[in-house]
Amino acid sequence: MSQTVRSALGFAAIAAVSLYALVVVPQGGDVTTMINGSIYAAYAILALSLALIWGYGGVLSFGQAAFFGLAGYVYAVAGLNLGDTALAAVIAVAAAAGFAALLGYFMFWGRVSDVYLGVITLTVSLILYRFINQTAGEEWTIGAAPLGGFNGIPSTPIMTALGRPDEPLAPEQIYMLSVGALIVCYLVCRLVIATGFGRAVVAIRENPVRAELLGYDTRLYKLGVFVIGGAIAGVAGVAFANSVFVSPTMFNLQTNGQVIIWVIVGGLGTLAGPVIGCFAMLSLSTWLGSLDAGAWTDPNLVMGVVLTLCVVALRRGLLPTAQGFAERAVGAVAERLRAGSVGRARAAEDRP
């Protein structure tokens, strides 16, 4: 199967799924379905941010939850104080991108190795988690927004209609907004990869020494993709804040670990794969949580088993494995058709 055909089929599949999610699901879904769908979309955006940074930039960020949670809290605080949720969302994404730029500058210009990059990003996320957990007192109030400590900010404002600050969006509208944000972030990632900047980032991932010898400043390119990934994680944080409310769990180790698992299970080095992995693992966790079969259905235990199986049996992840299987099946069918046509042609030639 040629690259052009593969890209066309992939685009058609993504377009079909997007239309289904935006048009069909809202018509038949109840409020719970809309809220869960919004949460899934927010987490999928978070997985997409790591897919770009790690899969294409080669930077293992074990702390994407830092940008995710920071954007959520900035959105809640800005929304409660400004009264303009759209402006609060912009400020939140900008804050996540700015924090990623600051953190990335010290890491990349400090020539921190790949292993320590993961350690530093995880440590930063856990520091924020511990800090937010101890902000329960009245002294931790920013204007009209109490940080709330381990309780979070239950009064997180819901996105409102443009120009109508007194009309919060309904769950169906929040769902469509979250899915739309996921689609836009995916297209942005595709656009970034297709540019000269994206090709340079991939080249640096493959061989940083050769890229430096060719004149590329690897620190600058890594910082660029890290900031873009941080901004996308910020979008995820804003979407999540509108789906439920912000709390310290947005920064915790489980959130950071889940993102890594989603990317590995879905397929590292792809964009759609981590999104698929996110939806698959969240759906599995939700289903297991509804069962009453003891420790054997504990979502964390099952996620560990699934990750182990994927690493051992599906080393490339769900999407690349499925693509390889489909290509082999199509190739086998095409070969049989070709052999049949050749046989019929020879039989026709042998006729008197």
State both tokens at 252: 């915790």
Distance from C-alpha of 181 to C-alpha of 48, rounded to nearest angstrom: 11
Distance from C-alpha of 271 to C-alpha of 163, rounded to nearest angstrom: 35
CB 251, CB 65: distance < 8 Å: yes
Percent over 90 (pLDDT), the chain = 57
Element (H, E) at 241: helix 218-243
Q: Is the dihedral of CA 220, 226, 230, 233 positive or negative?
A: positive
What is the pLDDT of the chain when averaged over all its residues? Answer: 87
Residue written as tokens 């927004």? 145
pLDDT in tens, 157-181: 999 887 777 788 999 999 999 999 9
Distance from C-alpha of 298 to C-alpha of 142, rounded to nearest angstrom: 38
Give Cα 286 to chain centroid, integer Å.
Answer: 18
Is the per-residue pLDDT at 326 higher than 70?
yes
Identify the CA nearest to 29 among candidates 37, 41, 39: 37
Give Cα 84 to chain centroid, integer Å.
Answer: 26
Distance from C-alpha of 108 to C-alpha of 219, rounded to nearest angstrom: 5
State both tokens at 327: 């290509």
pLDDT at 5: 63
Bridge partner list, 205: none
CB 318, CB 310: distance < 8 Å: yes
pLDDT in tens, 31-58: 888 999 999 999 999 999 999 999 999 9
Distance from C-alpha of 65 to C-alpha of 100, rounded to nearest angstrom: 12
Residue written as tokens 């790690």? 54
pLDDT at 340: 65
Q: Is the dihedral of CA 19, 24, 27, 33 positive or negative?
A: negative
**pTM, to two decimals:** 0.91
Distance from C-alpha of 271 to C-alpha of 192, rounded to nearest angstrom: 12
